[in-house]
Amino acid sequence: MQQFIIEGGHTLTGELTASGNKNAALKMLPACLLTEEPVTLTNLPDIGDVRVTIQILEKLGATTEWVAPKTLRVHAQNISTGAIDPQLGHKTRASVVFSGPLLARLGRVELPIPGGDSIGERRVDTLTSALEQLGGKLEFRQNALEITAKRLTGANILLQEASVTATENTIMAAVLAKGTTVIRNTASEPHVQDLCHMLMAMGAQIEGVGTNQLTITGVERLGGCEARVGADYMEVGSLIGAAVMTGGALTIKEADPQHLDMIALMLGKLGVRWQVTGADIVVPAGQSLTVSRDLGNRIPTIKTQPWPAFPPDLMSIALVIATQSAGTVMFHDWMYESRFFFTDKLVRMGANITLCDPHRVLVQGPTPLHGLPYITSPDIRAGMAMLLAALAAKGQTHIFNIQQIDRGYERIDEKLNTLGASIQRVDADAVSTGEVQLVNEASQR
């Protein structure tokens, strides 16, 4: 087990290139199963969840090869089984999206109970219902779900909710189904669009990309392709937070700013500003963070909604920025009942936060933050939010359970250190005995 030791109070300044989108990568990798030809994915982030997903592919019989930095070639010519390895499946929620491509390719898939973040109940009923409408037959077993189909057939599907996972999985099942599939109430996030563009490069026929209705005409086979994983706007938003909370200037290159408009609007309520220069964004130094009140001097609300509204995974980042913004703001995440259950740690660091109920918190700022000797990361985004708080805090902070952060952020300690942060990645057991042993990850790979 490892931990971060962060010495706060350093101004972060410099330039970084955005990593590939975690949520796109975790769906584009399973999509490689839809063809017997090689597929090359570029700008693939080297993060925990991606490494687990690659292991799942290899267990299924696919071969993988890193042919260049951030570039992976997947060849799924011989798929030997439709059963997801239970130990690997428990490590990531994204394991459920193997069901669409495996059902289309083999006519059978066996799924373990998926893992992932502990941010609340996350049912998969929308996903399984769509597969049933395409012709899948479900059978529940102890700790597993088996889905079979002799041949998937196109259908008119109205998703129960605009679920990203259900949308992506249904698309992958439908591209090889017989006939035409219309999917309504679809999610349209950038990573959904990345997946669609990849499948179209493989020969799929998809209309309506970027909207909430997709029309898919099934084809007999798909071929290989090369596809780029787009910029991770979650990482971009987190890096913006690191800059403004420490008062630094930051340029984020290849940030795909076309996907940041709503994020700019919502973070703008906290006083955050940046400029767009081509594919890059520039965050100016020394921003005056002040909450903009709503009409009638009302307290503003930052609320999660389906894309293109404010994304749920940036809620924790916006919240921690608000602790340093002058004024009061309400945060409302109606989707996940455990999203805000890390805020007690920020309160211990000095933040003024009132947990109104499981879905709403009130933040009043700015308040000086101070380091803590022991806090844990409950999920990817909360862990990153606490890391940002530690960067702005006075003194030293120890964050444990950092494998949660590593699942979604590529070498974030190394990246932030190049900007002037002071973050040590150390062995937690060594620290407990009084011996700080720096871990050289590069030598372990």
DSSP 413: H
In 107-171, which ranges are E strands? Answer: 108-112, 137-141, 144-148, 156-158
Q: Which residues pair with 398 in a beta bridge?
A: 5
DSSP 20: B
Write down the H helix ranges in 45-146.
48-60, 86-89, 99-106, 125-133
Instruction: Look at the block and give the residue holding tokens 């690997």.
Output: 88
- Is 117 annotated in the active site? yes
Whose CA is closest to 53, among 24, 19, 80, 78? 24
Q: Is the peptide bond before 366 cis (omega within 30 degrees of 0)?
A: yes
Q: Which of 46, 49, 117, 232 is catalytic?
A: 117
Write down the H helix ranges in 258-371.
261-268, 315-322, 343-348
DSSP 48: H
Whose CA is closest to 375, among 347, 410, 412? 347
- State the Cα–Cα distance between residues 344 and 353, nearest whole angstrom: 8
Is residue 385 within 8 Å of residue 409, measured between CB atoms? Answer: no
Q: Is the dihedral of CA 97, 102, 104, 109 positive or negative?
A: negative
Helix H or strand E segment including 215: strand 213-217
Catalytic residue set: 117
